[in-house]
Structure formats: structure tokens, C-alpha cells
Amino acid sequence: MPDHTLHRLWWAACLPLVLTACATQAPPPQVDAPTPTAWQAPLPHQGSVQVLGDWWAQWGDPLLVELVQDAQALSPDLAQAQSRIVQARAALTGSRAALTPSVDAQASASRGFNESVRAVASTAQAGLQAQWEIDLWGGNAAAERAASERLQGAQAQWHAARVSVAAEVALQYSSLRTCLQQQAIAEDDERSRAQTARLSQQSERAGFTAPATHALAQASAAEAVVRSAQQRMQCALELKALVALTGRDEATLRTRLAPTPLQPPTDALLRIATLPAQVIAQRPDVYAAEREVAAASADVGQAQAQRYPRLALSGTIGAAQVRTQGLQTDLNTWSLGPLALSLPLLDGGRRAAQEDAARARYDETVALYRARVRLAVSEVEQALVRLDASVGRTASAQAAAEGYRTAFRATEARWRAGLASQLELEDARRTALAADQSLALLAHERAGAWVALYRAAGGGWQAPVAITTAQH
């Protein structure tokens, strides 16, 4: 190879290094998101730390674990998130390919008059053609970074969908179990009122009870029948909603349910420290939003690179064979080049507009990221408030329910002895029933508060690297 050719090739190879100092300047890929220095709401268990992965398994209910697994397998949101991961991975592969040379193979065969041999000949050709766009301004590298960031964001969103499905199933399961408990309470009340009505009828026939008093007892029994029927209808609706979420057979699921409330573990611990940033770092949606900021920053760099000259190097290697009149001629060729430089001159402002659009999208992603952080802090704070309120009311609600049940039993005994009126009995019964139902609803509220806190804390997901927010 001549010396002047080697000299040109050397300069072509060194040109990208010479122009590195002129690389594009994209906006920062990491931004601050203001967070408070401490939680304003009280922390459960003094903020003790425990792994949150598969938190629904900590509730001690095997059926709940199975239902969550079934729902996650059927969830269209999870399927969509998985599809986006595949798409993002494909986009990353394509962007990485732009950083390396491309090689194409070509082959052809023909028969006809060949001018070089002045005769009819069979010609066969094969060759390789390579092309490489030298990334002078880092545009292709910026595209690769953007695709990589979006792949990480898509993976985090899959975990966010997984946590969301688990929370939805847990809430629906808790609602159904609470409904079944209330149904059991309503059925017990129905039997109690029916017994009271029978005793009142016997007393009325014996002449010890006025007809109006007996009518009140009958009305109370009828009211209990209506309430019990309404409760059974509500439980049937709750069951069908759970079946729709999980795809379970309704009859099979019904047989595995028990009319007992879903109780969170008393010793449940959360991965919550004193700083909100540490909890925010566990939220996959916040992590995905941060990755989108970094990707948008890379998009700006890529748009900037399109406004500058582009340099491409190509080369070919080929072989040809010509046959005519029993003679065969082999022709082998190769070439390196051309080294092509394209200079954007007039485009009507298209490239400048693309850069402006990329910067606008970057500003949008920054605003969305900061809004996501604020929302995360708010959700954790609200969940902590609801949990603290439900836990604080539990002891009082239990004491109230037990007291009203005791009062009802005493009133019922006095009524049987003729020392209390039917009105007193029914009033005590309604009070005790309301207290029992309120206690069941409070247990559901507490379970919902735990679920909300698990979800707000990211459900045990851990970012692959410490996100920016956790560092501020």
C-alpha cells in the first residue's frame, strides 16, 4: 500500500479524536427533586427495617399468596410492561449497532454479451460491502445511552405493575373477607332476632306481652332477614370481583374462603427509614421517571449532533468470474473509501426545531419526575396517617364492641325476666351490632392502610443503582 494512502487512513482514524473537544453539550441527566428531611407522620414499629419482597406472604394466608400469583400471571398491565421491556431491549440493540460498522454481502449471476471479452459470457460476482459512520459528535453514543436508560425504566415499570396488581388483589381479598365476617355477624343477628320474635309470640299468646310489643319483635326479625340478604349479595359481588382479577374458579374459591377477617401480621415490619429519600429510592415508578430524564438528556445530545457534519467510511471486497468459449477469467477487487463528509447547509430550520423539541421534552420529563417524587412523598405520608389512625382506634373499638355485647346480653336477660322492655332490648341489640360491624370495618381499614404503605414504599423493589434522589 502506498505511503500516501496510509497517511490518509491515519488521519481518518485520528479525526474523531481531534474533534472530541467539540462534543455536544446536553442538559444534565440527573436533577434534584426536593424532599422533606423527615416524615411528618408517625412510623409504624419505629421505622424498623425488613425486606418487603413478596410482602403479601407475610400475612400468613396461603390463599392470598396463590391469588396474587394468579392475578399477576393474568394481568394485562404486566403483559404490557413485559412487552415494553422487549421493545426497549430491541431499541437498545439497534442503537448499539449504529456504533459499529455494518457489513453486507452481495452476489449476482448473469449471461450476456460481455464488452471486455467481446463475446457472450456467463458472469458470477460476489462481494462484501462495509460502511461505518464515525460518531464525531457523540450522536450515536447519545442514542445508545437513551435506549439503555429507557430499558432500565421499562424494567422498573414492570415491577411497579407487579406491586400494583398485588396491592389490588390484597385489597379486594381483604374486602371479601371483611364482607364474609359481616355476613356471619348479620346471620347471627338474624337468628337472635328470630329467637326473640318466637319468645315474644309465646309471651303474647300467654297474655304477658302486648300485641304491639310482639309486632316490634316481628319487625326487628324481618329487618334482620333483609340485612342478611343484602350482606350476602354484597359478598357475592365481592367474590365475583376477585374471580375477575385472578381467573379462579368461583365455586372452588368459595369453598376455600372462611368468614374470618384478613389480619395483617402484628409484627409486620417495613423497610422505612427516617428519610423520605430512602423510601422513594424503593419506588420503581420514581426510578423509571428518573431514567426518562437521563434518556431525554441523551435525546438532546443526539439532536444536537444532527446539526453538525457527518463522516462515513466505506469499503468493498469483491470477486468475479467470467466464462466464455471454454475460457475462464477471475477478477478480484477491493477498495477502501470513499471517506465521505456531509455538511448540513440549508434545511429550513428542521434540525434546529428537532433540538428545540428535544429540549422541551427534557423539561417536561424533569417536571414529571419532580411531580412523581412529590406524589411519592405524599402517598407515604397519607398511608402512615391512615395506618396510625386505624391502629390507634383498634383497642378502643374492641373495648366498645365487647362492652356493647355485654350490655346486650344483660339487657336480653332482663327482658327474659320481664324487667326490660322490647324497645330496650332492640336498642341494645342495634348498638351491639353496629359496634361489631364497625370493628370488622376497622380491621379492613387497617389492612388497607398496610397495603397502601407497602405500595407507597415500592413493595420491596430495589433499584439496581442508588438513584439521584437518595443522594440529596
pLDDT, tens digit, for every residue of 418-435?
Answer: 888 877 888 888 888 888
Question: Do residues 335 and 351 both lie within one domain?
Answer: no
- How many other C-beta atoms can be found within 10 angstroms of the C-beta atom of residue 214? 19
300 & 384 share domain:
yes
Of 343, 364, 392, the one marking the end of a domain is 343
SS3 assignment, position 464: coil
Please write the tens of the pLDDT for every residue from 84-108.
999 999 988 888 888 888 888 888 8
- Do 273 and 126 reside in the same domain of the chain? no
Residues 320, 289 share a domain = no
213 and 125 inside one domain: no
CA 283/CA 379 separation, integer angstroms: 11
- The owner of cell 379462579 is 248
Q: What are the strands, taking DSSP E only, across 115-237?
A: 119-134
Whether residues 16 and 45 share a domain: the answer is yes
Q: Which of 291, 320, 343 is the C-terminal boundary of a domain?
A: 343
Note whether 211 and 295 are same-domain residues. yes
Sequential pLDDT tens for the chain (472 residues) = 445 544 444 444 444 444 444 456 778 777 777 665 555 444 343 333 233 446 677 777 888 888 988 998 998 988 998 899 999 999 888 888 888 888 888 888 877 776 666 777 777 788 888 788 888 888 888 889 999 999 988 988 888 888 889 899 989 998 998 899 889 888 888 888 888 888 878 877 877 778 887 888 888 889 889 999 999 999 999 999 999 999 999 998 988 886 666 666 554 444 454 456 666 767 888 889 989 999 999 999 989 988 888 888 888 888 877 777 777 777 787 777 688 888 888 888 888 898 999 999 999 999 999 999 888 888 888 888 888 888 778 888 889 889 988 988 998 898 888 888 877 888 888 888 888 888 888 888 888 888 888 888 777 656 665 443 333 3
Helix (H/G/I), strand (E/B), else coil: 102: strand
User: Exposed (0-12), middle (13-18) or buried (19+): which is 72, by Cβ within 10 Å?
Assistant: middle
What DSSP element (H or E) covers 115? none
What CATH number has the domain bearing residue 450?
1.20.1600.10
Which pTM value belongs to this model?
Answer: 0.74
Shared domain for 273 and 330, answered yes or no, is: no
* Domain that residue 314 falls in: 102-134+310-343
- Where residue 123 sits, what CATH number does that domain have? 2.20.200
Number of domains in the chain: 2
Cell numbers at residue 445, please? 381499614
Q: Who contacts 270 (Cβ-Cβ below 8 Å, separation ≥6)?
A: 44, 45, 47, 48, 49, 50, 52, 453, 454, 457
Shared domain for 275 and 417, answered yes or no, is yes
Same domain as 384, residue 459: yes
Is the same domain home to 284 and 315?
no
Q: Do 260 and 233 fall within a single domain?
A: yes
